[in-house]
Structure 1
Amino acid sequence: MRLFCLQVVNFEQWQEWALKQHFAKVEVASERGPIYDRNAKLLAVSVPAGSIYIRPRQIKDKAEAIKKLSELLGVKPSIVAEKFDNKSPFVWIKRQVPRSLARKVEDWKLPGVGYILEAKRYYPFNQAASSLIGKVGVDGIGLSGVEALYEKKLHEDHLQTRVVRDALGKTLQFASGEKESFELPRGEPLRLTIDADLQQIVDEELERGRQASNAKAAYAVMIDSDTGEILAMSQAPALNLNSASTGTAKELTNKVVETVFEPGSIFKPIVAASAIELGLARPSDMIDCERGKFRFGKHIIKDVHGQGLLSLRDVVVRSSNIGMTKIGVRMGSERLYKSIKLFGFGEPSNLGLPGESRGIFRSDKVLAPVDVATHAFGQGIAVTPLQLVRAIAAIGNGGKLPKLRLLQSDEPFQSKRLISEETASMVRDMMFGVVEDAHGTGKQAAIKGVRVGGKTGTAQKARAGGRGYAPGSYVASFVGFVDATPIGIKQNISLIVSIDEPKTKVIYGGTLAAPVFREIMLKSLKLLATRYELRPPEIVEDALPKKNFTTVSYRPA
């Protein structure tokens, strides 16, 4: 009678219990879509990894299992033991370890201990563009950067599969319907405008510059001035995304778009361009720079090097705060505010990157006269490196503000005209003078064989509380572009380099940031000349064979 009840009367109930014992549902991280650079080089890809688990109720020798797992994974036995005290029937010990490591678990043949294959994110270029690409958590969800921004595209829902177990709780197989194997769901691929080769150059030279300056951090962004495509985005020190020890919110911050700072003198070409476009100034206008000291209301505005009469061109070339103050006064608060706004400041870019700042830019309605003066030479306003390089690109490309782009697309590139080609040409000449003239502040950015236009800047950092400036804290910057048509590259590339809190005797942008700019641009030109078999500039002729060349645009597919 008892047997009859078990096999017939209560069959469905006992069958349900048996299935629960022999099958368990486990959620396995799906395979995210790969991320490529503009030349189809892999920047991020999902690879198989082993995730080790236990079924505490099935463990026969708890002490042995704890000892083996702690030795295998290199963690304290006490940490492993805590997981054994979990009341859940299924507990992860460590997810996404190397498959070779996870496979050793099988050799132990310990009841209740096993592993499952999951997808783990791997970054072939390690720290290259790490703050931009972002990180994926152990659960397969994007935590920062592009990985988080395009989560819906890159990520498919995780797979819930049944695990077939034996009487000891050991996994025998995975079940998907009647099949013994399964394929992980896979997200869509993503192709960025980043050039992995250029990105590595920027990363390496930026870190080298940061170390040479003994600086807290450094930032750089390289863009195509005409199309607005981001070619490289870097910060130093960089984060190696393949390291298991990384991942705090602070570590994952993309400082290029989240950090704001007073730009200082690198802002002067933008104000000069606006004044010229409005018909309020010409490059030849003579301005009294007051021998380096100028009383403005209750304030004293100073120049590092005292000058007398200077043309507006030389005001920019020699970086006179007093000269720019007088240009700001000519413009007045309303026109100055509208002009700065027109160049994209006070608003985030269209990239939509997590945490992107719009900067700090007050309305003209609340600007005091001294604010008009200081804004004209880059103080009292806070910007991001991304905003600045985009604004300078508008001068470099002939007067159009490009819409920034991070994803490769067949859609037409977009831009809006801010200033005339004539105005842009005048200001470019000023920026060439910063590098080429005897009194220019950016001579260390010069590259023989091509023309470099730029602007140096050294700005004090605001106190953490927001009032006044922190003693001894500066940001040294250089922003500019290169005319590489003499070597056959028509592409106009703009680049900003900022050194944050250098600890050196000399803290000027022309001394610290300009040489880094030069090295990045020099190596980038060598790369592009080699890639497209063009004649290199004179500086690299000894390294590459001379040959006939054709002028082309840099548009890698």
Structure 2
Amino acid sequence: MLKKKRLISLAVVQMLIMVTLLSRLVYIQLVGTESFSKHEINLLEAAVKQRTQVFTIDDGRGKFYDRFEKPLGHQEIPTLILFPFLSKMNWPIKTVAGIIGVSEESLINALKNAKEPFAFQLDGKPISLSQWQMDQINKLKIPGVFAVKQNFYLNNMPAQQLIGGLTKDPQIKRKRYPDREFSMNTVFGDRGLQYQFDEFLLSDGDTRLVFHVDGTGGPLFGLDVKFHSPANPMYPVKVITTIDLDLQKQAEKLVDQHGIDKGGLVLLDIETSEIRALVSRPNVNQKDPNKGEGAVNMMFRRSTPGSVFKTVVAAAAIETGIIERNKLYNCNLTVDGKEDKNRRLGMLDFEKSFAQSCNRTFGELAKELAHKDPGLLEKYAELLNITGTNGWNNTLYHQNFKQLYQEDPGQVWLKKAYSKDQKLVAHTAIGQQDVQASPLAIANMMATIARGGQRKMVKAVSRVEFANGTTEAKFYDSLLGDEQISKLTSIKLQELLKKVVEDEEGTGRALQNLPYQVAGKSGTAQTNKEKGLLNRWFAGYFPYNKPKYALVVVRLDATEDQGGVTGLYADMVKEIYKQDMKE
């Protein structure tokens, strides 16, 4: 009886095992063919891959270009593609080596351990072929030997934090596109413009060489190489940014030469508020792009602006008419009215106070403004683009669309009640207390003043083009609201900003005698009193008489011995002038 029960139990266990295996087989064959396991493996694609050797020429995702349509973040190289089965064949290796100008041994060695098709390299880089070399190689019609133009993504691309990164994360696929099917190799934008423009950029199919092979990896003769490209000739798209690649490269070089470990610069075109160059440091961590401060665009992150904010106080004071002609302020005192032992500037009028950045003057003016109306500082901060966001944000295809990724809005007050506290008002006037602004916002403030008060949204992309050159989307200049400072106020602010550089004691006097006349405002903000950390700024525009560029440079969380940023500002102005003279 016991033996019979054991046999029945064994039979039941075997039956359960069979049912489990059959269920698993049914799932693999019929249900999970396109999303097997937590990694969402496409079994159909994997099965085909076993019977073919594939070389991807282009993944089909849209690419970024600068304003003159120079590639950003990728490089198109005419190169030689070799398939690994060549190592088992007799083929005219001497002829191919002669055409491309290399030794036969280098081709043989490259094929020795190859398991997949590859682009032939010398010294770790794909060789670049001429059109004549490509034509000669392809005329030979050798199975497994092709000359094609291949797209390579650059590891150290220019403007990395602005352009952003890519991912194959299946969770992003499910979350963002739950109703769409994609190849297992499809990449998605996970930061920057790659993220914001992801729907434009998504691949409509890659371009690849496909060669059918037998069980040993050898070619199935009689089957030609298949050249697969997207069925839709309109793709991949081209995203034309507003970046000037030459200026961008110079900006990155200078920021690194001046040792900016945290901070960077942003350069805007004044007429359009388009970004011409943007550098954010620290650099992106190439091993883990989403790790650390390198994953953040510091030009979009808000921080304490220091005395640059006095520009807002000046605008409010001018427009409300509280400036008294010939009135002098005691600039031997601190903003709190105590004796200033570090900076004794004497008795200064309003204009000299701005040029030499007297804290006492602007503390008094801010308190007078608050007494008149506690909301005035916030109002003029908005009119000069400090609060809110500045990036292009408008209707596109009947939906709201934002160009810039994770741009911080600025602020004046942490709590509205603080606007009625005289001591807090005085510290707010010098860009401390709770005042926060991004370098992008401050650059757009300078562009607004140089334009006569007209506020515009900042653009990083001008248009998106289909593969045939027709326009898919165009981003027109857009205003940042209807209200603005008066033309007269902007003219007076322009004069104040010029005197910061012209004045013999001005905080920007180091920027005199440059090829372009600069107008601007310096700023030093305390960010950590215990560690003695500071934000060092210079924000301005040039040339003064015919404004063309607004430039902000900033060193964030700097120590006292790291110095200022006017040297970097001066060098960038010189480089811009050199380029302008070439045009």
TM-score, scaled relative to structure 1 = 0.68
Residues in 2 aligned to 1:437 and 1:312: alpha-carbon distance in whole angstroms: 13
Residues in 2 aligned to 1:200 and 1:521: alpha-carbon distance in whole angstroms: 14
- 1:278 pairs with one of 304, 320, 331: 320
Residue of structure 2 in register with 1:501 after alignment: 557
Aligned length: 440
Residue of structure 1 in register with 2:382 after alignment: 341
Residue of structure 1 in register with 2:478 after alignment: 414
- 2:359 pairs with one of 297, 321, 344: 321
Residue of structure 2 in register with 1:534 after alignment: none
Residues in 2 aligned to 1:430 and 1:20: alpha-carbon distance in whole angstroms: 69
Residue of structure 2 in register with 1:37 after alignment: 66
Secondary structure of 2:574's partner?
A: helix
1:444 aligns with 2:506: no
Greater shift in the superposed pair: 382-391 or 303-312:
303-312
- Cα distance per residue 1:339-376 (max 9 Å; x no partner): 21232233222344222211344366221332211111
Residues in 2 aligned to 1:259 and 1:434: alpha-carbon distance in whole angstroms: 26
Report 1:233-272 matches (<5 A): 233-239=278-284, 245=287, 247-250=289-292, 252-272=294-314
Secondary structure of 1:471's partner?
A: coil
> Cα distance 1:292–1:130, how it changes in 2: closer, same or farther (>3 A)?
same
- 1:378 pairs with one of 407, 410, 431: 431
Residue pair 2:264, 2:299 contacting (<8 A) in 1 also: no
Residue of structure 2 in register with 1:130 after alignment: 160
Instruction: Give the C-alpha shift of residue 201 in structure 1.
Output: 1.9
Query: Structure 1: which amino acid aligns with 2:356?
Result: R
> Cα distance 1:343–1:412, how it changes in 2: closer, same or farther (>3 A)?
same
| Aligned residues with identical type, % of pairs | 22
Residue of structure 2 in register with 1:225 after alignment: 270
Query: Structure 2: which amino acid aligns with 1:433?
Result: K
Secondary structure of 1:277's partner?
A: helix
- Cα distance per residue 1:236-290 (max 9 Å; x no partner): 35449xxx646233365243344321100111112201221122226x4524235
> Cα distance 1:218–1:290, how it changes in 2: closer, same or farther (>3 A)?
closer
Which sections of structure 1, spanning at least 5 residues, go unmatched? 1-15, 55-67, 74-92, 104-116, 463-468, 532-557
Instruction: Give the C-alpha shift of residue 304 in structure 1.
Output: 4.3
Query: Structure 2: which amino acid aligns with 1:454?
Result: G
Instruction: Give the C-alpha shift of residue 493 in structure 1.
Output: 0.7
Which sections of structure 2, spanning at least 5 residues, go unmatched? 1-28, 31-42, 85-108, 127-147, 169-184, 393-402, 464-473
Instruction: Give the C-alpha shift of residue 164 in structure 1.
Output: 4.6
Instruction: Give the C-alpha shift of residue 517 in structure 1.
Output: 0.7
Residues in 2 aligned to 1:451 and 1:303: alpha-carbon distance in whole angstroms: 33
Residue of structure 2 in register with 1:480 after alignment: 540
- 2:441 pairs with one of 387, 392, 397: 387
Instruction: Give the C-alpha shift of residue 306 in structure 1.
Output: 2.1
> Cα distance 1:302–1:343, how it changes in 2: closer, same or farther (>3 A)?
farther
Secondary structure of 2:307's partner?
A: helix
Residue of structure 1 in register with 2:198 after alignment: 151
- Cα distance per residue 1:28-55 (max 9 Å; x no partner): 783222211111211133758999999x
> Cα distance 1:334–1:303, how it changes in 2: closer, same or farther (>3 A)?
farther
> Cα distance 1:431–1:160, how it changes in 2: closer, same or farther (>3 A)?
closer
Residue of structure 2 in register with 1:355 after alignment: 406
Residue of structure 2 in register with 1:401 after alignment: 455
Instruction: Give the C-alpha shift of residue 396 in structure 1.
Output: 1.8
Residue pair 2:526, 2:534 contacting (<8 A) in 1 also: yes
> Cα distance 1:191–1:290, how it changes in 2: closer, same or farther (>3 A)?
closer
Query: Structure 2: which amino acid aligns with 1:396?
Result: A
Residues in 1 aligned to 2:341 and 2:475: alpha-carbon distance in whole angstroms: 47
Residue pair 2:207, 2:229 contacting (<8 A) in 1 also: no
Instruction: Give the C-alpha shift of residue 454 in structure 1.
Output: 1.0
> Cα distance 1:421–1:97, how it changes in 2: closer, same or farther (>3 A)?
farther
- Alpha-carbon RMSD across the aligned residues, in angstroms, is 4.1
Secondary structure of 2:526's partner?
A: strand
Secondary structure of 1:347's partner?
A: coil
TM-score, scaled relative to structure 2 = 0.66
Residue of structure 2 in register with 1:312 after alignment: 350
Residues in 1 aligned to 2:69 and 2:59: alpha-carbon distance in whole angstroms: 22
> Cα distance 1:40–1:160, how it changes in 2: closer, same or farther (>3 A)?
closer
- Cα distance per residue 1:177-221 (max 9 Å; x no partner): x983311574210101111111122111111112xxxx5323100
Residue of structure 1 in register with 2:570 after alignment: 518
Residue of structure 2 in register with 1:193 after alignment: 242
Residue pair 1:32, 1:45 contacting (<8 A) in 2 also: no
Query: Structure 1: which amino acid aligns with 2:74?
Result: V
> Cα distance 1:122–1:142, how it changes in 2: closer, same or farther (>3 A)?
same
Residues in 2 aligned to 1:384 and 1:172: alpha-carbon distance in whole angstroms: 60
1:432 aligns with 2:498: yes
